[in-house]
Every structure is written in C-alpha cells, then in structure tokens.
Structure 1
Amino acid sequence: MRTIVQDVMTTDVAAVNQNASFHTVAELLINRGVSGVPVLDDDNRVLGVVSEADLLAKQEFKERYYGDGYTPPLRARIRHTVGSEGSGFYKALGETAGALMTSPAHTTNPDVAVVLAARQMDKHGVKRLPVVDAEGRLVGIVSRRDLIKVFLRADTDIDRQVRDTIHSDVLAIEVTVADGVVTLNGTLPEHSQAITAVRLAENLDGVVAVHDNLAWKHDDIANMPMWGGA
C-alpha cells in the first residue's frame, strides 16, 4: 500500500489570515520555528504562502524610502525579478500577509501519493505544500522533512511488504533488507518475472534501492515480438 500525504502531513498548522499584520506574521514564524506559513481567507481557503524571504524584502528595500540613489544588491534584484517570490519592491511596501504573500500557493491533497508531492516540491522549488480539501480549505501541511519520514520505515516492515508484493514464497525469491536497501536472490522461470519483481520492490515506500541478483531459466523478453513496425 502506498503512503499518501494524509499519512505524513502535519495537522497543527501555523497559518495566518490575509489581514494579519507584518509583525504578526514575523512573530508566528519565529515562535513556531517555521520558514513559511499559508495565508487564508475568512473561509479558511488557502490564498498563498508568506515566507521568510517575503518578509526580508522589507529589509532589503527599505533604504529606497531614504534616497532615490539606493540600489539593492544584484543578487536580491535577480531573485526578485526572475524568482518565485514576486517583486521584492512591491512586497517591501506590504503591511499585511495578503500583500506580502506569494500567490497562488502550490498545494496538494490528502489522498495524493507522497512521491507525487515530492515531485511537486522539486518542480516548484518549495519546501512545503499546504494540504487542502476539495473546496480548497486548509487541512494540513506537508514538508520535505515529512516526506523523508517515509524512508525511515523499519527494515522488518519493508521486508514483509516486499515478500507479500512479489510473492517471494511462490517464486522462491530470497529477500534481505538492510537500511532500506533490498537484495533479491534466486532463479525464476522467466526473465520477465525477474524484471517485474525488481520493479515492484523499487516502487514500495521506504525502499532506498534494490540490488538485483536474480537469474532466470528462460529469456522470454528476447523472444517477444516487436510491435509498431512498418
């Protein structure tokens, strides 16, 4: 059974209303020890996310108020121009979470597989995803750290699931697991059975890698007809 976001997400979520003040957001980030929080409307729907980077725009750009000759550091200008944070200058003018946030937020759903959530984080370069229900209301949050927990499953649990999934007793496959690394030994009737066993094991939650030491008696892969030819 695949692990889904609901299995690893945090339900005690630090979040703010869109009308929360700059100081309220800053205090929440500091007191909860988080780097970003979802921003909600009055109906608990996620509008965006406000992060430490959004708040730092205040510091990076505040000198613009004291002189027209001030130019932010090149790194800051590039990040705010082409990055995912939006315009740092306009965020520096913001006084509420709604004005400071990055919107729309990248979100996920409770029933999504953790591997898909991980891919979404990597695609968008974010560290966390608010978890929303079908109406877009906040029900939790999942972070990179939460997803890593999947790889901390006990070897005994992984061993049991691998054996059940690949039917090791029927196929006489020897299974060993150490620190999440699965090793498969044995001789199967068909090449295709060995390939299937390895792929099934690789796709199980908590499996770091699969060492394939399987042999086979008949190479049914080499004799399979080719389709789609002229």
Structure 2
Amino acid sequence: MTRRTPHRVKDVMTQTVVAVGLEARFKEVVAAMNQWQVTAVPVLEGEGRVVGVISEADLLLKEELRDEDSTMIGQGKRLSDHAKAGAVTARDLMSSPAVTVEANALLPQAARLMAQHRIKRLPVVDERGVLKGIVSRTDVLKVFLRTDDELADEVRQEVVDHLFPVSRRGIGVEVTQGRVTLEGEVRDAALIPVAERLARAVEGVVDVRCDLRGPTTETENL
C-alpha cells in the first residue's frame, strides 16, 4: 500500500537535538553550535522544558557591539542588544519566550511559524513544553522529494476514488515534476472544484491542472 503523506511535524522532525542549560557559558554555547553544525540551540530548564533559543544572531551581538558605548544616550532601541552583547550565560543570551511547535502540529503550521518569525528551526515540544525534537525548513520541504508515482497514487486513492467512485475509471491522473493533471468526465460537475482543492492539499504537489468536465449534454436541433 502506498505510504500516506507525512502530515505532521513528528513525521519529519529530527529527534536528536543539541541543547544547552540556562547556566551554559558563552563559549560552551559557541562550541556546541560549532560541533553540531547548527545555527541555533534551544535552552532548557528543569526536566527539559524549552524556555528560550539562542541563535547565531544573538551570539554575534558581542562582536558587533564590541566597540560601542552602551551607556550613551540615544541607545534606547538597542538596550536589549547591548544586554545580550554583555551576557556570559545562556540565561541572558537567549531569546525568550521560545517559538515552538507541538509534535502533532500539521506541517503547514510549522511552515507558517517559520515564515512569520523569520526563523530556520523550531524546537518541537509536547503538551508540557518538554523538548522532543527539532524541525527545520529543510525537514518541512522533504515532502517535495516525493516521487511523481507516489503523488499520483495518493491523488488517485484520496481524491479520485473518494469523490468519484462511479466514474473514477474514466479519470486520468498524471504527475510530472510534482505538477498534477486531472482529466476526464465525471458525473457530478459540482465536485470538480473540490477535486482540484484536495489535489493541491496533497503534500508534495507543486501545482494542479484540472481538466475534469461534467457529463456531455447532447442537444437536439429542432
């Protein structure tokens, strides 16, 4: 049986995650990010609850603001940046509260959070906020690596067979480079927009061309 689309974050997330505690020192954070080749790390407290995230941008403030006088008047807009530039532990370096996503969240939700907050990685947490994994932009985009045959099989099973059980044999489904083409005659023309919408919702589909048509009506010329 064809594998169904991995609709949820837990299906694509990475379970092995590098993280640091609140009292981790600046150089420890830099070393961890360098060792694991990541651009951000979650900050944990207690039994693994995510309380913040430290990104490369947070760390670079120390170098960027090295020669600036943080006591100068008129620096109001950058007070928090100067505070981070002077920080030596994760507690003061991190951005908090952390933007997180639950493991059962749908992939579009994770994508929207990343776009909205302009971040590349999201800590994945359970209902208590405990770290369970990490999901990146690359993980979310894995759905576009599905083959054309996989996509065609899912469109047939989940869209055509479901909506058009009677006329399904006369409906063609072709997929080329992620672009779906639906063609053929169906008994209920009202379902054609629904079929197009459901085909677009199959994760990994890039575009849909819908050439379905309703039953042909023969008109007699009197």
- What TM-score bracket applies, with the shorter chain setting the length? 0.7 to 0.9
Q: Could you say which residue in structure 1 is the equivalent of 2:31?
A: 27
- Residue 190 of structure 1 and its aligned partner are, at CA, apart by 2.7
Tell me how far apart the structure 1 counterparts of residues 155 and 83 of structure 2 sit (CA, whole Å): 53
Which structure 1 residue ranges, 4+ long, deviate > 2 Å from structure 2?
168-172
Q: Could you say which residue in structure 2 is the equivalent of 1:224?
A: none
Tell me how far apart the structure 1 counterparts of residues 141 and 166 of structure 2 sit (CA, whole Å): 33
Pairing partner for 1:145 from 138, 147, 164: 138
The one-letter amino acid of 2:179's match is: V
Q: 1:211 to 1:126 in 2, by over 3 A?
A: same
- Residue 201 of structure 1 and its aligned partner are, at CA, apart by 0.6
Q: Is residue 158 from structure 1 mapped to residue 151 from structure 2 by the alignment?
A: yes
Tell me how far apart the structure 1 counterparts of residues 33 and 147 of structure 2 sit (CA, whole Å): 33
The 5-angstrom pairing of residues 28-67 of structure 1 reads 28-64=32-68
Pairing partner for 1:214 from 212, 215, 222: 212
- Residue 99 of structure 1 and its aligned partner are, at CA, apart by 0.6
The one-letter amino acid of 1:185's match is: E
Tell me how far apart the structure 2 counterparts of residues 60 and 107 of structure 1 sit (CA, whole Å): 27
Pairing partner for 2:189 from 178, 188, 191: 191
Q: 1:199 to 1:68 in 2, by over 3 A?
A: closer
Secondary structure at the residue paired with 1:90? helix
For residues 27-86 of structure 1, what are the alpha-carbon distances to aligned partners after superposition, in whole Å with 9 as ceiling and x for unaligned?
111111111010001321000000100001101112236x977x99xxxx97x57xxxxx
Tell me how far apart the structure 1 counterparts of residues 46 and 197 of structure 2 sit (CA, whole Å): 46
Moved more, 181-190 or 162-171: 162-171
Tell me how far apart the structure 1 counterparts of residues 27 and 151 of structure 2 sit (CA, whole Å): 46
For residues 72-125 of structure 1, what are the alpha-carbon distances to aligned partners after superposition, in whole Å with 9 as ceiling and x for unaligned?
9xxxx97x57xxxxx210101110111100000010111111111101111121
Question: Where do 5+ consecutive residues of structure 1 fail to align?
Answer: 82-86, 219-230
The 5-angstrom pairing of residues 1-230 of structure 1 reads 1-2=4-5, 3-64=7-68, 87-166=80-159, 167=161, 170-171=166-167, 172-217=170-215
Tell me how large the CA RMSD over aligned residues is: 2.3
Tell me how far apart the structure 2 counterparts of residues 39 and 28 of structure 1 sit (CA, whole Å): 12
Secondary structure at the residue paired with 2:212? strand
Tell me how far apart the structure 2 counterparts of residues 64 and 204 of structure 1 sit (CA, whole Å): 52
Preserved CA contact (<8 Å) 1:188 1:214: yes
Q: Could you say which residue in structure 1 is the equivalent of 2:220?
A: none
Preserved CA contact (<8 Å) 1:163 1:169: no
Tell me how far apart the structure 2 counterparts of residues 135 and 127 of structure 1 sit (CA, whole Å): 23
| Percent sequence identity over aligned pairs | 41
User: How many aligned residue pairs are there?
Assistant: 208
Secondary structure at the residue paired with 2:68? helix
Tell me how far apart the structure 2 counterparts of residues 64 and 162 of structure 1 sit (CA, whole Å): 59
TM-score by length of 2: 0.86
